[in-house]
């Protein structure tokens, strides 16, 4: 059994982050396990800050996070930008 690494915490227990909409300036809530969210004011998609994760290089990432969380990360990564 492997122990949970701190790198997977924000994916397994997501937290909200406020991002300023580049189109209208409104605050948009994007969770740490998401890449983008729709602005409630102008309805355009806003992208959060995407950083590299241990999921990108660790051979135990799928086992550590579980299939559902790991697959969601891959889907979000493929839709960024």
pLDDT tens per residue, range 45-63: 998 776 677 888 888 888 8
Instruction: Quote the tokens at residue 75.
Output: 């889907």
pLDDT for 3: 61
Residue 27 counted as domain residue: yes
pLDDT band at 1 (very low <50, low <70, confident <90, very high): very low
**Structural domain boundaries, residue 10:** 6-79
Residue 1 counted as domain residue: no
Residue 14 counted as domain residue: yes
Residue 54 counted as domain residue: yes
pTM comes to 0.63
Q: Of 3, 81, 13, whose CA–CA distance to 47 is shortest?
A: 81
How many domains does one find in the chain? 1
Residue 49 counted as domain residue: yes
Q: What CA–CA distance (Å, rounded) separates 77 from 81?
A: 9
Residue 73 counted as domain residue: yes
Q: Of 14, 16, 17, 18, whose CA–CA distance to 27 is shortest?
A: 18
């Amino acid at each position: 059994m492997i122990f949970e690494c701190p790198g997977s915490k924000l994916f397994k227990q997501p937290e909200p982050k406020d991002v300023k909409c580049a189109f209208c300036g409104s605050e948009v809530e994007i969770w740490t396990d998401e890449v983008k969210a729709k602005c409630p004011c102008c309805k355009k998609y806003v992208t959060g800050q995407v950083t590299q994760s241990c999921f990108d290089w660790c051979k135990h990432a799928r086992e550590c996070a579980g299939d559902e969380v790991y697959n969601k990360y891959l889907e979000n990564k493929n839709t960024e930008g």
